[in-house]
Each structure stands twice: as C-alpha cells, then as structure tokens.
Structure 1
Amino acid sequence: MVREVGLRRHRDVSQGLLCGAWHQTDWKSPLMCGIVGYLSSRAPVSMHQLVSMRDTMAHRGPDGEGIWHSDDGLVGLGHRRLAIVDLSAGGHQPMPSHDGRLVITYNGEIYNHHELRETLRELGWAFRSTSDTEVLLAAYQQWGEAALDRLSGMFAFAIYDREARKLFAARDRAGEKPFFYRHADRRLIFASELKAILAHPEMPRKADPIALDHFLAYGYVPRELCMLTGYAKLPAGHKLRYDIAADRLEVEPYWHLPQWKGGVAEPMEALLDAFEPLFDTAVRRQLDADVPVAVLLSGGLDSSLVAATAARVSSKVTTFTIGFPDHPGFDESPIARRLAGELGTEHVELSAEADTADLLPSLAAQFDEPISDSSMIPTFLVSRLVRSKARVALGGDGGDELFGGYRQYGWAQRIARFRRLGLHHLGMSGPAAKLLPYGFPLRKMALRLVDPYDPALTVSRLAEPRQRRALIGDTAGAAEHYRAALMAGRHEPRDRAMALDFQTYMCDDILVKVDRASMLTSLELRAPLLDPAIIEFAFGRLAPHQRTDGNRRKLLLRSLARRRLPDWFDSHRKQGFSIPLAAWLRGPWASLLEDLAAGAGDGLLDPAGVRHFLRQDKSVNMAQQVYALAMLEMWRREYRVTME
C-alpha cells in the first residue's frame, strides 16, 4: 500500500473528525520558524488572538505564515517560517496528514530526513515534497512516539490528533529549539517564545521566586522553570501529551544523558578514529540547505574544527568573525583570519565597539527570560552580519560541555580531592572568607573549599546564597538543591560538572542566547557538535579523564586538531566568545547599567540589598553581577513583571 502525506485541505473529513480551516500566505520553505498553539475544552480562541500571538514571532519566520483553526475555535495552531530548504510550496504549515486526522506545527531541522525518507518509502510511504516536515509527520504516523528515537536534529514540534482531541509535542535532546507553555484554566497554550503566550489578553505576569533565585545564582533559568509563575518550558529531551477532554498534561523524558560505564578506558587513538566519521557526518548533514551556508569562525578550537571540516566536505565555504580591535585580550580575529586564509574560505570580519550599548534594550526584549550572558551582543552582531550574505550558519557550540573545555571542571576535580583529604580544614574558615569583598578572587577560592554544596554547584556560581538572601529573602538556596538532583547517579566530579552544564548552562544560557540573537536577524544557527551521535559518544564512550584532566582540556578535540588544523594553531588557548565587559562598564556603559541595576531594587529585589550590593569595592571586578541586575531590570520593565 502506498501512503502519502502532503497538503490537502479537507473541509469535510470522514470518521467524524472536526472540520478545520487552513489559512496560509507566501509559503516558501518548511524550516526554521516559530510555532504557537492553543487548546481548550471550553474557552475558544479567536482567529484574531491566534494571529496576534503568532505574529509576535515574525522575526523567526519572515517568509510566510500559516494558521489552522478548528471550526469551534477551541483548537488553533500557528506557524511562522524562514525559507531554507525546499523553496517550493510543498511544506506548508501547519501541515495535515493525508487523511486530515493529524496536524503538525514544527520548528527546526531533521538532519537525517533523507535517510528517514528512504526508510519510509520502503515501508510504503510516498511524498509530495522534499520537506522534512512531511517526513517528520510520516515518521510519527508510522512509529508513533518511538519516532523520536530515530530523529537527528534540532526541533520543537506539536502534533494534534483531531479525532482523539489530544496533542503530542517534543523537544530535541540538547534543547536547541525552544518550547514554552502554560497549562491553567482547562487550556494549554504553547509557543516558541514566551512573548507569544503573553500576547493572549488573559495571561498573568507574576515573577516566580524560585526561578528568580536561579537567575541570581547562575545568570539564567534552567530546564522546566520559568521566570513567570504558572508558565513552564518543555525540558530538552522531553515529550508532552495533552488530553483536552480530561485536561490532563503529562511531561516525561524520552532520552537520558548517557554515562561512561567505567572500567578500562579505550585507547585514545581508537576513540579518535571512531569520532572522526561521526563529526564529518554531522557537518556534512548540517551543510545541507537550498540557500547559502556560512561558518562562524571565532578562532577558537571548536569553531576552527567545524570550519576546517566544512572546507573538507564542501567546495565553497564563507567564514565570519567578530573582533574587538581595541581590546587585544578579547580579539581572536587575527587567528581566524589566518586560518581562513589557509582553509581557502571567503572570510568576512566585523569589529564590535563599546557604542553597542544601545542594543541592550532590544535584546532584553527579545529574550523571554533574563539572561546575564553578555556574549549575546557579539552573537547578535555577527548574526546580523552573516544574515546579509547567508541564511544558515554553523558554529562550535557544545564543544566545551561535551569534551571538558571549561577551567571549572579542573576546579571541581581539585576541590573534591581537597575535601576528601580534609585539606580544606587547613585553610581560611568560612566566616573569615566571607569578610573578603564580593568578587575578590581569593574569597571565591576560599569559599569553594568550605562550601557545603557539591563543587559542581559552586565553581560557576554568580552569587552565593548569603548574597542572594539579602536580595530575595529565604528563597535563596533553592537553586543549589534543584541542580544537585540533576547529578544523581554520577560520582566522578568532572563528569558531574559536565553533565550538569549540559543539562542547564548549555541548554538554558548558550543555546538560548544563540537561538534568540540569531532568530532576531532571521538567521538559522546550527551546531554540528550537538549531533545526537556525538553527544552519545562524548558522555558514553569517553572516560572523564579523556575529556579533561587538570589543566588539560578537550583532549579528544585537541587530538583531532593535530590532524586537521595547521601546526601553528594553538589548541590549548581558551578565550571564550565574550566582550570586554569590565572595561566597557568603566567607560560608556557605566551610567546606563549601574542606573538599571539600581532600579532592580524598585521591582523584584529588596532595595536595601541592592544598594548594599552596588556599594561593593569598585576595585573588585563586579561587572558580571552588575550586568545581571541590569538585564533583570530591563526584562522586568519590558514584560511588566511584578512580585504580586
């Protein structure tokens, strides 16, 4: 039997299905986009409301939009689209199944859709387009929820079953594509961005104190938590089911982060030989597009390996770099320029200056929750530059969390060793350490040794519980307890820290920054190092000491660099994609950010606590903390959030 999925508009469908209407304009492609949905058993959503919610995300999909709306108004799905693959009209969304029973709205890219298409064809399916949306819908019809085990890509999608009146949704393993939702008052509303849900006139805007503690502690809000009470995010690697009639919501993982089983580690050369084809396949798949594809080349190890591999498997590669010419300690553009010349890529550079402070309000508005990662600015700037020449770009995100690139992993290892030996009792006591000023390096080091929390929880902390307690009261400390549960069953300090960062920092800081900053310019950023096969390899086959060992980090990727990058390339250098924040705060950003930070005491935080915090010794580098408070205040004003 030949099965066919594709766009057929059913005004009357057999088997007692609801009639529905599709409203679509200017369709070109099935890919990067924004999705929205509304489901209720008693409160209909008007077409006007649904369109308003969808169009808050016009930047995510400027090339077209679509709506599916049930005749009774109780269910609606919306979609915005950015044209990248299959530039025909064959990938219209929301897309119905061939019999009209299912309707899908989908954001993302299934990188192995060609292979899945061939498998499904062998099983009797026929296709009317080259759209991966069509493949995803057929895969769900063929294998049900088990189709998730076969997907390689970044995605957030929802499929509505019109006959059963049930919704199924899922998010990719790394959390590259976002999915917010609110379940209350016998209805479920979901969207790629929180602002789309808030566009509904009945949505409250009260801050969540637990999420606020997480933000103050680490600079972002992790996993299912949301800065607004009553809202949530679908965590990475999770699926969601919603039964409209029963008003029953179920959320559960469909995938778990693997763990090295211990024993004798495999030889490094054998591991490298096994890793190379996985990496090549990931890069090759992610270069697949019907529009120009670029590579973000920072000059660091991860992006340099991506660029070198792209140049190996593609005849034409354009690389883009952002530099800070007035701050050599932050400027990797000369290295990127030299490497691009040896790889033979067309290379484009952009210089970032301190006068970019005027971008902060618009970026704060774009980020659905506050985030203290100042690299959102260069990410946005380079995305805007790339978008003038390409619609898709590859980057090196994920390399640090998968392969042990951060110095803090070595610190977690050392602190755990000191504690096992009892050496922390020989040093400065906790009360004495607390007398040192905030931001003072020795203070942080001393407190790490005597901190009652796991080292993995303290090495990347932005503010200590005592400091947060002065700002928000007794809620302080919730963040550490929550994060500790994510490391259950893992005992090696480095593995614990890397697993925690993968599930929180990478997903809810790095990838949020990448998604929002790039989609604001309608650019799709892809991360080959987050291919599922590479994630499984890094956490499942590499022993912790083969990823990072003391001051030696990213050992496998450095071995690959010796095979693929020039001899002069310094793979041991670790700079990070960041801005000279402290210098800019002493200059043109000072008044803006300090005034905003002070304003946080008028909104969500205790005024006396904020004043005390900002009176800290100016000789101590508190730039990151001041920036975090300023971003929190800009977010509060933009989203009109209160604590009541």
Structure 2
Amino acid sequence: MCGIVGWISSEGVDLGRFDRAVETLHRRGPDGSHRWMSADGRAVLGHRRLAILDLSKRGDEPSVSADGFSAFVHNGEIYNFRSLRKDLEARGETFASTGDGEVAHRLLRDDGPEALGQLDGMFALALWNDRDRRLLLARDRIGIKPLYYALLAGGFAFASEPKAILLLPGVAARLDPAALSDYLSYGYVPFERSMFSGILKLPAAHYLQWDAASGRTEVVPYWTLELTDVRDDPEELREKIDEAVRSHMISDVPVGAFLSGGLDSSSVVSRAVRYTDHRLPSFTVAYRDGQLDDICYARQAAEAFHTEHREELLDVGDLATALDRAADVYDEPIRDATSLAVLELSRVARDSVKVVLTGDGGDEIFGGYGWYETAMRYERTRARFGPFRKLLSLADRYLRPLASSAFSPRAAGSARLLAADFADRYFAVRGFFPAAEQKRVLGTLPHDPAWIFRAFDRPELPLVQRLLLLDLKTYLPDNNLMLVDRSTMAHGLEARVPLLDWRLVEYAFGLPPDRILRPGATKIAFHEAIEPWLPEAILSRPKWGFTPPFKSWVSGRNREAAFAMLERGTLAADGVLDPGGVRSLVEGGTQRRHGKLWLLLNLEAWYRRWIRGERAAKAPDPTVPSAVHGSRI
C-alpha cells in the first residue's frame, strides 16, 4: 500500500514541484520515497512506500527495467503474485525482489493491458514506456484503490489523491459544478468525476492508455460483472469466503482486523485467525454518546476467536474541529459520518499493525442494506397496478411541481412509487437533494440528479441483482471504499477487503435472487453459510450500521449551531450556497433533513480547506491523538 504520482510534460518536469506533490502523500507511505525520471527529463514517476511485502530496499518502487525504458509504480497488493512469478520465470524472467510490484511490472510490460485479467488484488498502477512514450494506468475490478488523473497542456498527471495533482502546473483548485450537484444528490462524487474541475477518476475495472505524441487518451473497461449460474450451496460459499480471507493474509508484517461484532467483520476474523501464526489483533471504536452495541458484540467475537482485542470510546468534542480534521484527510467531500469513526479506528489500529482486514463489501454483495427491501416493496406495490401503472406516472407528473412548495417532503417521497423511470424511483429511496431542492439551495437546476442510476441500471436483470449492481458500481467504490482508503492511509495503514475478492463477488452475484434477500430477510445465503462459524449472539443481533450519532450533533439544541456554521461559512460568502434555502428546507421537514444538513456541513469544511485553501487556525494533525479521542477501555 502506497501513494503514487506521475507527471509527463513535453516541456520537461520541475522536480522541485514534483517532489512537493509526492510529499503530500507521505502519510500513505511513511517508509520511504523514491522517484524515477526519464533520460530526457520529460517523464517522472514517484512512490511513497508502506512496506508490506519484501521489506528490503529491493522492494522499493519505481520498478525500472534493465534497459531503463520501462518504469512502474503501484498502490495496493497483488495477492497472486507468487504464481504469476513462477509463470514468468518459466519464460526466462529473473527477479531482484520478492515482492509483487516487480512481478506486475514484468507481466504488463510484456503482455500489455490484456494481462490485467490475470491480476488478483487491489491496485492502482501505472506503467510508463519511455521508448514508445505511452502510459498505462489501471485500477482493480472493484475500485478498492483510487487513481486520479488530469490532462495537461502538453502533458499528463496522475496520483493516488487529488491533492498531489493540485500542486502541478496547469491544475487549479476549482469546484466542478456538475460534481457539486452529484455530491448533493448522493453524498459522494460518483464514477469518473472528481470535485475538482479538470481532475478525473479512473473508474474501477478500467484501464487508461495515453499517447504522449498524439495526446490521445483511451479509457477501456477490462472486466464486467455478469449474471452466471452458480451452485447454491452453503458449503461452497463457505469455501469461497475462507479462500478469499486466506489469500488476503499474505504479508511480511503482522496483520490485524477491524471488528465491529457484525456478521461481516466477525466472519472475516473467524477465518483470519486460522491463517496467522500470532494472536490476531482486533480493533473497535464507538462514540460515547452513540450506539454502544458494537463494543459489546465485538467483545463477544474477540473472546470467541481469541483475538488480542483493543477498543476505545470516543467523544466528538468540538464539531467544527472534528469536521476540519476530516476535511484535511478527505480531499473529496463525503457525507458518510462513518468517515470520522474509521479515521479514529485506523489511528487505534496503527499503533499495533500496518495491515488490517475489514468486512467492507458484505452488504453490497450479499444484500444487507435496508434500502434494498424498501425499493423492493415499492416495486412490488407498483407491479400490482399492472396496466394501470401509467396512472401512477400521470400522478407523479402532477405532483412534481409541488416539490418546490411546502408539500415538497411528501411530493419527493411519492416518487418512490409514482415516478415512471426506475432510476427516479430509486433516487427517491437513496438520494438526498432532488432537483427542486438543489435549485433552492444552489440557485441552479441540476441536469439530472439520478443520472448515475440511469447510466448503470440493467433492467434485464432480476430486481435483486439490479439493486446490488447499482451499489457495486456507485456507492461501494465512490463512498465506502474511498472512505476506507483515505481514513486508513492517513495513518499509514493498509486495509484489505476479502469479501470483495472478485471471484467471491461473481459467485454471490449469481445466487438465486430469493437466496440473497427478500422483504423481511437480508443476506439469506450468507447467513446460512457463516452460521457454523459465529456465536449465536452475533448471528441473531439486530443490524446496526457502524455510524456515529451525527443526527444528535445537528438536531435539537445543536441545530442552530449547525445553521450558523453554514450562514457564516465560505460557501455562503462565495455565493455557492444559500443558507436561507437550507434552513427553510430543514425547518419545513424535508426528508432525511439531518443527513442533508450533515452533508452540507462536510461540504463547508471541505470547501474551506481545498477551494479556499484555508486551514483551521488550530486544526491538529488528524494522525495525532488529542483530547477529543476520549478514553481507552
């Protein structure tokens, strides 16, 4: 796990500027910094290293070919690198290191992007061919590791995080209006957009080729998730989960685990303890004023699996300070309040280990979210109208004008059933600010708040898989995995997600729909498969998301303070946001009002830090503990 940066310029690169860009990623790779520059000074690759495999200097990157014409950097891990190495050695290749980077370099140098399908792991990688002056970028199938890029005048730049690209010439910290609308729509910025104008994300399961001579850029998918027939057998699912966890244990440093006491993290830990020669460290945090069940269930799981468990209770302290701390790490805004908790959890874990396993992805591939049940209920209700469904759409056409009136909450909610298009119905379940509300808050009407659901909807699929795929393409990579990457890497901690092993994802996606979820029951096949592994108390516990009590932080007597942060903030001062419109929406009872207010508070902190470039006067380093962290238990 590392931080990578690259810059190609027809005018030649400024090494001083480049080194400063690489240094912005020092938290991602605290174990060393190295760069390679082409002989003509027009291409440079940089790497901040977090040493996990081959801890010697032989494992440093950039990896450079013997002839000096090929250079490679990557962030992440290639779990099957040893088998790939054997195949390459059979071709006559020899290796200087015992890590994965050199193996991926040789494979892609020889076989090109067609070889990406052979890589099992989480990765964002870059290969520069100095002879052909061509760049290859690629991102793993699920989008576990991030990769951003920018097309420059006479050149190209890429990095693990936008903050590095912002230090290169030709790129400025300007807000992208379309991305701003996306953020208000979803609470994160989806797919290829970033919050910065001129900086793009490489989507998951895609590679990019850029030709320096012509300036031509090509972005191509190399993997798609399709519905296949699988054997619905709890034992086979158990074997696949077990193998996924085993493959993710490969490391030359000790491995630990985040443990919430839920089904996903407990299942991962139950397998991980079988593949380690030391007592597995596990970690849990919870907010003192929030839901403390996770602490109790995590203790039970830790006792059952004999982990070396550490837990900590947290206090949010001053809310503005907490948001500033988060904004310094998340250089794209994210509404998800879990971002605060995982940032603290990563701090706790990094005191003991450099690698953790997490249970992320289990809800997306096995159908664990309540909103799936909600969407299914509305779709089934709509189906009962049969040929009269056109009347529902007609009613929606008459109700939509009310969305900008005092009846807006009810009008917005009715779209879950009445909207003619599935994407609009699903947006009414999952989205935040619909078009009319964005108009009141931003002063402009967005093009299409539900566009990302429209883009990835697959109507030919069964409804269950249709819902899962939307999250696998949007919410999972651009909210959950971005959150985990930024929060863990802020502390130099590598997070691995075995439940998102691509073979396990393909198997789970192929299960019969009614074995995944139905109204009243979620994660059905998964629950049956893991039953022999977990204590009954954890198997039967109510589902509770790992979410800080943000609603209490922005409601009741705290609500006026939240309004004041927006009314006196930089978004209002720059005319980006109308705080009066926000107040009228929240006080008017808009749906998900606490979530919307929290969304905007995070946006304010991010905007002040990254667009205005203002740091809080006493904003502490987010990697350093302070009084707001509370006490250890």
Deviation at 1:432, TM superposition (A): 9.7
Paired residue for 1:277?
A: 239
Deviation at 1:494, TM superposition (A): 2.4
Q: Does 1:637 align with 2:608?
A: yes
In 2, distance between residues paired with 1:307 and 1:237?
A: 27
Paired residue for 1:538?
A: 508
Check conservation: 2:273, 2:280, Cα contact below 8 A.
yes
Q: 1:288 aligns with which of 233, 250, 273?
A: 250
Paired residue for 1:16?
A: none
Paired residue for 1:529?
A: 499
SS in structure 1 at match of 2:37: strand
Supply the AA of the counterpart residue of 2:449: A
In 2, distance between residues paired with 1:222 and 1:431?
A: 25
In 2, distance between residues paired with 1:613 and 1:238?
A: 42
In 2, distance between residues paired with 1:414 and 1:359?
A: 38
Deviation at 1:473, TM superposition (A): 4.5
Distance of aligned partners of 1:475 and 1:445 in 2 relative to their CA distance in 1, 3 Å threshold? closer
Deviation at 1:447, TM superposition (A): 3.4
Which aligned pairs between 1:494-643 and structure 2 lie closer than 5 A? 494-539=464-509, 541-571=510-540, 573-586=542-555, 590=559, 593-598=562-567, 599=569, 600-603=571-574, 605-607=576-578, 610-613=581-584, 616-617=587-588, 622-640=593-611
519-528 vs 306-315, which moves further? 306-315
SS in structure 2 at match of 1:222: coil
Distance of aligned partners of 1:613 and 1:530 in 2 relative to their CA distance in 1, 3 Å threshold? farther
Supply the AA of the counterpart residue of 2:162: L
In 2, distance between residues paired with 1:609 and 1:252?
A: 44
Supply the AA of the counterpart residue of 1:406: Y
Q: 2:90 aligns with which of 122, 126, 131?
A: 122
Q: 1:310 aligns with which of 250, 272, 287?
A: 272
Check conservation: 2:75, 2:123, Cα contact below 8 A.
yes
Q: Does 1:324 align with 2:287?
A: yes
Q: 2:127 aligns with which of 137, 155, 159?
A: 159
Supply the AA of the counterpart residue of 2:611: R
Paired residue for 1:57?
A: 25
SS in structure 1 at match of 2:537: coil
In 1, distance between residues paired with 2:557 and 2:105?
A: 51
SS in structure 2 at match of 1:275: helix
Q: 2:58 aligns with which of 76, 90, 109?
A: 90
Q: Does 1:172 align with 2:140?
A: yes
The number of equivalent residue pairs is 601
Paired residue for 1:374?
A: 337
In 1, distance between residues paired with 2:223 and 2:356?
A: 27
Distance of aligned partners of 1:604 and 1:478 in 2 relative to their CA distance in 1, 3 Å threshold? farther
Deviation at 1:306, TM superposition (A): 0.5
Distance of aligned partners of 1:431 and 1:38 in 2 relative to their CA distance in 1, 3 Å threshold? closer
Supply the AA of the counterpart residue of 1:631: N
Q: Does 1:365 align with 2:324?
A: no
1:250-300 per-position Cα deviation (integer Å, ceiling 9, x unaligned): 111111122246xxx84x4x2x22222221122112122121211100111
In 1, distance between residues paired with 2:591 and 2:179?
A: 27
Supply the AA of the counterpart residue of 1:508: D
Q: 1:458 aligns with which of 406, 423, 428?
A: 428
Check conservation: 1:158, 1:170, Cα contact below 8 A.
yes
In 2, distance between residues paired with 1:113 and 1:610?
A: 54
Paired residue for 2:72?
A: 104
Deviation at 1:187, TM superposition (A): 1.2
Which aligned pairs between 1:171-210 and structure 2 lie closer than 5 A? 171-210=139-178
Paired residue for 1:28?
A: none
Q: CA RMSD in A?
A: 2.5
Distance of aligned partners of 1:449 and 1:477 in 2 relative to their CA distance in 1, 3 Å threshold? farther
Check conservation: 2:404, 2:436, Cα contact below 8 A.
no
Deviation at 1:572, TM superposition (A): 6.0
SS in structure 1 at match of 2:383: helix
139-148 vs 186-195, which moves further? 139-148
Supply the AA of the counterpart residue of 2:283: F
In 2, distance between residues paired with 1:588 and 1:611?
A: 17
Supply the AA of the counterpart residue of 1:610: G
Deviation at 1:489, TM superposition (A): 5.1
In 2, distance between residues paired with 1:162 and 1:198?
A: 25
In 1, distance between residues paired with 2:174 and 2:555?
A: 34
SS in structure 2 at match of 1:354: coil
Paired residue for 1:4?
A: none
592-601 vs 64-73, which moves further? 592-601
Paired residue for 2:117?
A: 149
In 1, distance between residues paired with 2:464 and 2:402?
A: 25
Which aligned pairs between 1:234-313 and structure 2 lie closer than 5 A? 234-260=202-228, 266=231, 268=232, 270=233, 272-313=234-275
SS in structure 1 at match of 2:449: helix
Check conservation: 1:299, 1:332, Cα contact below 8 A.
yes
Paired residue for 1:15?
A: none
Deviation at 1:434, TM superposition (A): 4.6
Question: TM-score under structure 2 normalisation?
Answer: 0.89
Supply the AA of the counterpart residue of 1:45: V
Distance of aligned partners of 1:608 and 1:510 in 2 relative to their CA distance in 1, 3 Å threshold? closer
Which aligned pairs between 1:430-441 and structure 2 lie closer than 5 A? 430=399, 434=403
1:487-513 per-position Cα deviation (integer Å, ceiling 9, x unaligned): 145443322221111111010000111
Check conservation: 1:433, 1:446, Cα contact below 8 A.
no
Deviation at 1:37, TM superposition (A): 0.6
- Gaps of at least 5 residues in structure 2 are 614-633
Distance of aligned partners of 1:468 and 1:86 in 2 relative to their CA distance in 1, 3 Å threshold? same
Paired residue for 1:467?
A: 437
In 1, distance between residues paired with 2:421 and 2:447?
A: 10
Check conservation: 1:354, 1:589, Cα contact below 8 A.
no
In 1, distance between residues paired with 2:377 and 2:450?
A: 20
Distance of aligned partners of 1:221 and 1:330 in 2 relative to their CA distance in 1, 3 Å threshold? farther
Question: TM-score under structure 1 normalisation?
Answer: 0.88
Identity value in percent = 35
Q: Does 1:33 align with 2:26?
A: no
99-108 vs 451-460, which moves further? 451-460
Deviation at 1:330, TM superposition (A): 5.1
443-452 vs 123-132, which moves further? 443-452
Deviation at 1:437, TM superposition (A): 6.7
Paired residue for 2:630?
A: none
Supply the AA of the counterpart residue of 2:344: L
1:430-454 per-position Cα deviation (integer Å, ceiling 9, x unaligned): 36985997996x6664331223441
Which aligned pairs between 1:219-234 and structure 2 lie closer than 5 A? 219-234=187-202
